[in-house]
Amino acid sequence: MRLLLLGILLTACGGNPDCLFLPKDDTPRAISPCTVPQLGGWIDESALPFVSMFSDDATARGIPCFHTPVIGFLEEPLPEDKDILGYCMFDFDIVFVREYWKWMTPESRRTLVYHELGHCALHRSHASGNEIDIMNPYLIADSVAVPQWDSLVNKLFTGKE
């Protein structure tokens, strides 16, 4: 399965494996090729509204351009990753687990999309498991995330609440 995903990713990179390995740091920046606001490409239609929201929030915070990865679904989690809801693979593409996605609220889907785009588009690392943060390795409950959404998004994009 991972080899198939790697093949799909290489195809999306025009066969250039260098585009899969990007430097990691916490500086939000545009990554070539810039695909915002052209969000339709290889993004599953059920995730597209949340990617559009992310794009609007990025633009509002002075990040007018970022790479929009391929976003798709696995039907079930990989056997070794039973508790994983989504993956940012090779800092390039995002894969969500449909088995979990179909039971999530729209607010939880939005949080998950922002989390994975935080990894892939903004190169953010996981926050401490004790923080209320979109980049927390555990999905924040809607009852916590929704009332604080604006400050959580500000923190994701700017590092400040």
Domain 29-156 part of CATH 3.30.2010: yes
What does the pLDDT look like over 42-68, one tens digit per residue? 677 888 889 889 988 988 888 766 766
Amino acid, res. 155: K
Question: CA dist 75 to 3, 13, 53, 85, Å?
Answer: 16, 24, 25, 11
Confidence band, pLDDT 50/70/90 cuts, at residue 11: very low
Amino acid, res. 14: G
Confidence band, pLDDT 50/70/90 cuts, at residue 113: very high
User: For residue 160, what is the DSSP state?
Assistant: -
* Of the candidates 55, 52, 86, the residue with the CA atom closest to the CA atom of residue 72: 86
Domain layout of the chain by residue ranges: 29-156
What is the H or E stretch that residue 111 is in? helix 106-120
23 by Cβ neighbours in 10 Å (0-12 / 13-18 / 19+) ranks as exposed
Confidence band, pLDDT 50/70/90 cuts, at residue 101: very high
CA 24 to chain centre: 15
For residue 68, the model assigns a pLDDT of 65
Which residues make Cβ contacts (< 8 Å) with residue 85, sequence separation at least 6? 96, 97, 100, 101, 112, 139
d(CA 150, CA 155): 9
d(CA 28, CA 138): 22
pTM: 0.73
Confidence band, pLDDT 50/70/90 cuts, at residue 131: confident
Query: Which SS3 state, helix, strand or coil, does residue 11 take?
Result: helix
Contact 52, 87 (CB under 8 A): no
For residue 40, the model assigns a pLDDT of 44
128 by Cβ neighbours in 10 Å (0-12 / 13-18 / 19+) ranks as exposed
* Of the candidates 59, 27, 51, 65, the residue with the CA atom closest to the CA atom of residue 115: 51
